[in-house]
């Protein structure tokens, strides 16, 4: 039965895992695939050894990636800046122009807007909505809530 086993690298006593670069020893034999078919413990040893090899490969890849990242961060870009940083235009107008939905009636009707702005400081929203209803046809009227929402957004 000893002919069915191969020697493997020893494991570290502290971690229980094989350290990279350790010498090969014969403390724990590794079963061959033929022995694994008959012995589930041998199959478990084979799977554990494969996991150890994969872990060592992943650790090495992580070390290489870390080294490459550290090197890139230690040596910044050597080329000069091509142009000075410029302040970007304010995006508020662009967002307002592309806001979904239709614009409020007050915003799209300059006469109603002027009427509301002339009275907003001394009239309540309810009284202002009634004044708009008295002075404009039904398709140009705005309600108390619409006036309040428009005023809260614009507060001129």
Domain-wise residue ranges, the chain:
2-74, 103-154
pLDDT score of 7: 46
- List the one residue out of 36, 42, 32 whose CA is nearest residue 5: 32
- State the pTM of this model: 0.39
Dihedral sign (CA 54, 58, 59, 60) = positive
Least confident range from 44-53, 85-94, 118-127, 139-148: namely 85-94
Q: Write out pLDDT tens, residues 81-128.
A: 666 677 777 888 788 777 777 888 898 899 999 999 999 999 999 999
Would you say residue 72 has pLDDT above 70?
yes
Tokens at 63, concatenated? 């070390």
């Amino acid at each position: 039965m000893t002919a069915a086993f191969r020697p493997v690298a020893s494991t570290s006593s502290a971690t229980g895992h094989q350290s990279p670069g350790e010498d090969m020893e014969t403390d724990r034999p590794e079963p061959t695939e033929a022995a694994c078919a008959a012995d589930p413990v041998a199959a478990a040893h084979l799977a554990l050894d494969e996991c150890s090899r994969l872990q060592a490969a992943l650790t090495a890849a992580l070390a290489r990636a870390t080294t490459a990242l550290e090197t890139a961060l230690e040596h910044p870009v050597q080329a000069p800046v091509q142009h000075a940083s410029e302040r970007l235009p304010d995006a508020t107008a662009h967002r307002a122009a592309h806001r979904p939905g239709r614009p409020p009636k007050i915003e799209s009707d300059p006469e109603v807007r002027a009427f509301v702005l002339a009275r907003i400081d001394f009239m309540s929203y309810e009284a202002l909505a009634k004044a708009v209803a008295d002075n404009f046809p039904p398709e140009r009227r705005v309600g108390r809530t619409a006036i309040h929402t428009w005023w809260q957004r614009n507060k001129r």
